[in-house]
Amino acid sequence: MSLSAELNSRTRFLRACRGESVDRVPVWIMRQAGRYLSAYRAIREKHAMMTVLNTPELAVQVTLLPVDTFDLDAAIIFADLLPPLIGMGLSVEFVPGKGPVIHNPLRTNKAIDRLSVPPAEETMAPTLEAIRLVRPELNSREMPLIGFAGAPFTLASYAIEGGATRDFAHTKTLMYHEPAAWNRLMLKLVGVVVDLLKSQVGAGADCVQVFDSWAGALGRYDYQRFVQPYSRMVFEQMGNAVPVIHFSTGTSAYLDLIAAAGGHVIGVDWRMDLDAAQDIVQRPVMGNLDPGTLLGPWRELRPHVDDVLTHMHGRGGHVFNLGHGILPNTPVDNVRRMVDYVHSGDWAHGRS
Amino acid sequence: MSLSAELNSRTRFLRACRGESVDRVPVWIMRQAGRYLSAYRAIREKHAMMTVLNTPELAVQVTLLPVDTFDLDAAIIFADLLPPLIGMGLSVEFVPGKGPVIHNPLRTNKAIDRLSVPPAEETMAPTLEAIRLVRPELNSREMPLIGFAGAPFTLASYAIEGGATRDFAHTKTLMYHEPAAWNRLMLKLVGVVVDLLKSQVGAGADCVQVFDSWAGALGRYDYQRFVQPYSRMVFEQMGNAVPVIHFSTGTSAYLDLIAAAGGHVIGVDWRMDLDAAQDIVQRPVMGNLDPGTLLGPWRELRPHVDDVLTHMHGRGGHVFNLGHGILPNTPVDNVRRMVDYVHSGDWAHGRS
């Protein structure tokens, strides 16, 4: 192609999200501002998670860390999936070493009906302010900004379980026993998610990602009846103003249903070859290196990166990313080598 | 068909495992002797997990509980995936409310080389004795007995992580950094698994199941290189003396590779429609109701059972089961209704 090295990161990323030709495969990393960065750990030693989320200047600082450390093609606002639930009335705590805990998990119709749906401009003001503050910083770097929110199902299951789960027993119990309450909960979440995403776009996000991280807990039958209609509302209401990425994990068996729910780009985990996924979803895809491979030595990491890239070679519509968030113990050198290797194009020139 | 109600459970189950015609779909339930049964909870209030495992009379009693409570078509010996690791030198503890913990998880080459490979007749004697004791009980009930073991990868990841994990970071770190040690570990586990399974068959098991419960942590690329060769050794060494069930979860994207590793029957989780899975694996399948659906009311459970059965209707080669172990809070009445409904054939006669 004739675009070689003419694009800046913002153009490159947004073109790839639309399936247009690019000079090189754009790269970003889910949870790229995270514990694997010593500068992030230093900030978190001084400030609790909630403090960083609620202090726009700190959120801006953390958002810029990875883009100033690696040759990435996108920044993602430093935020978390759960704070929107706080605004709705849930008591969320980030317990160090354990992750988020909800002290009043949703288990009854009454609790669902008590949930409020306040505007994001009120409850998510620090994140929106952080977007406004980081925007000029990214403009000078010719870098796009990604906003995000949890998908209704993933937020609902966090709210109902109240913490980590393997079997989603509380979520499924409520979903099966109280379908009307489930519907009311999901409709409230659709409203909160769409408002948050649109507010992020209004504040300066170039693109938004919808994380349905736990959708893979279900089978096709339940995904179609209990999740897809609500996810579809989110994507329909977001329209085409900015590219919307629809990300999930463990959904290889129903990527067709994920794609039918919507999203301009489908984020795919590492369990399926990315070209096979693209054949199913018929649009640009994002992914899909196993985050665990970054724990290996370069001699092992490189063929895994090659595997992702060669599967997608010549196809276009590819945003390189991991298949889920980067792991806390990831060596920084591996991240740098991976990002530079994807950009180098060396993998495309045949190794003997 | 002309076999109506002539088969006993043993014949029915074994014929279905071979893809032969049966009078009705055979049913059993993974973890059918478990916490959802009050009689099991009563035994476990008196005896620790390890005591039940190591006392053949108790293991026999627990094995028979579900087959004497429901109209099931198979018993599975009461045992656990982890005791074979104890014989190899690992310190396994069943922590109430938390699950198994390994106090000396495998993290080094040296620890791997120190693992011994003692014969199952020595280290797993109580389980083998329980099989010998339960065999006549099951003969009088015309009921088959299933033996089982963890697959090499699932045992390796338990041994390396030492407890529950989401990201398998320690396992992948060892696998990528120490491929030679990984190979030695997996070869030792192949030996232990095959010996245990053959000993169970020798003691009276009619069928064995290989649980690769965590295989879905990997992508195709890693499954092919780090897991499939060792699983294949297990299935090849087991031969065709008894049906061998190959069970995994989260592997929808590479069921073709799972099937290529071996197994006469492929156990499938609920994320993929079972007929689609059978089209891929081209042999009898087992599954695949979401265990979570048993937490719902019958009006919700029934259409989920219908969904599994109608997808498989007219195909044959189907052993009905859940897609993973039954959950502790499952209502016993739901289990009874589900088992009887599958056997009734009512689902096949068209509901308007």
Convert the pLDDT of each residue in A154-193 to its tens digit.
999 999 999 889 999 999 999 999 999 999 999 999 999 9
Is A225 one of the catalytic residues? no
Contact yes or no for A336/A70 (Cβ under 8 A): yes
- The 8-class DSSP code of residue B27 comes to B
In this structure, how many other beta carbons lie within 10 angstroms of the beta carbon of residue A151? 28
| Interface residues on B facing A, Cβ-Cβ cutoff 8 A | 164, 166-169, 172-173, 175-177, 179, 216-222, 250-254, 270-273, 276, 288, 290-293, 295-297, 300-301, 303-304, 307, 323, 327, 329
Q: Average pLDDT, stretch A110-119?
A: 97
Query: What's at A151, amino acid-wise?
Result: A
Residue B5: pLDDT band by 50, 70, 90 thresholds? low
Is A35 one of the catalytic residues? yes
Residues of B in contact with A272 (CB under 8 A): 219-220, 253
Length of chain B: 352
The pLDDT of residue A352 is: 34
CA nearest to A302 within chain B: B176
Q: What is the C-alpha separation between B73 and B25, in angstroms, rounded?
A: 9
> Does residue A350 surpass a pLDDT of 60?
no
The pLDDT of residue B6 is: 81
Active-site hit among B44, B230, B254, B290 = B44
Contact yes or no for A84/A124 (Cβ under 8 A): yes
Nearest to B105 by CA among B120, B117, B88: B88
Longest Cα separation, chain B? 65
HSE at residue A197, side-chain half, CA atoms within 13 A, is 30
Per-residue pLDDT tens over the stretch A246-258: 999 999 999 999 9
The pLDDT of residue A351 is: 45
A99 min Cα distance to partner chain B (Å)? 13
The pLDDT of residue B10 is: 98
Residues of A in contact with B173 (CB under 8 A): 292, 295-296
Alpha carbon A73 to chain centroid, angstroms: 15
Cβ-defined contact of A169 to B300 (cutoff 8 Å): no
The pLDDT of residue B352 is: 34
**Burial environment of residue B63 by CB neighbours within 10 A (0 to 12, 13 to 18, 19 or more):** buried
CA nearest to A330 within chain B: B169
Q: What is the C-alpha separation between A234 and A219, in angstroms, rounded?
A: 21
Q: What is the C-alpha separation between A322 and B162, in angstroms, rounded?
A: 26
Is A158 one of the catalytic residues? yes
The pLDDT of residue A99 is: 86
Average pLDDT, chain A: 96
> Does residue A40 surpass a pLDDT of 80?
yes
Q: Average pLDDT, stretch A112-133?
A: 97
The pLDDT of residue B1 is: 43
- Strands in A96-199 per DSSP E: 99-102, 145-150
Residues of A in contact with B323 (CB under 8 A): 219
Residue B347: pLDDT band by 50, 70, 90 thresholds? confident
Per-residue pLDDT tens over the stretch B103-157: 999 999 999 999 999 999 999 999 999 999 999 999 999 999 999 999 999 999 9
Instruction: Tell me the whole-structure pTM to 2 decimals.
Output: 0.96
Residues facing residue B21 across a β-bridge: none
ipTM: 0.94
Residues facing residue A265 across a β-bridge: A245
In this structure, how many other beta carbons lie within 10 angstroms of the beta carbon of residue B141? 16
The pLDDT of residue A279 is: 98
Residue A278 Rama label (left phi>0; alpha psi -120 to 50; beta): alpha
Write out the two tokens for A155: 């937020």
Q: What is the C-alpha separation between B176 and A294, in angstroms, rounded?
A: 10
Cβ-defined contact of A271 to B292 (cutoff 8 Å): no
Q: What is the C-alpha separation between B240 and A318, in angstroms, rounded?
A: 45
Query: A153, A172, A226, A289: which to substitute to probe chain B, counting the most B Cβ within 10 Å?
Result: A172
CB pairs under 8 A between A and B: 114
A297 min Cα distance to partner chain B (Å)? 6
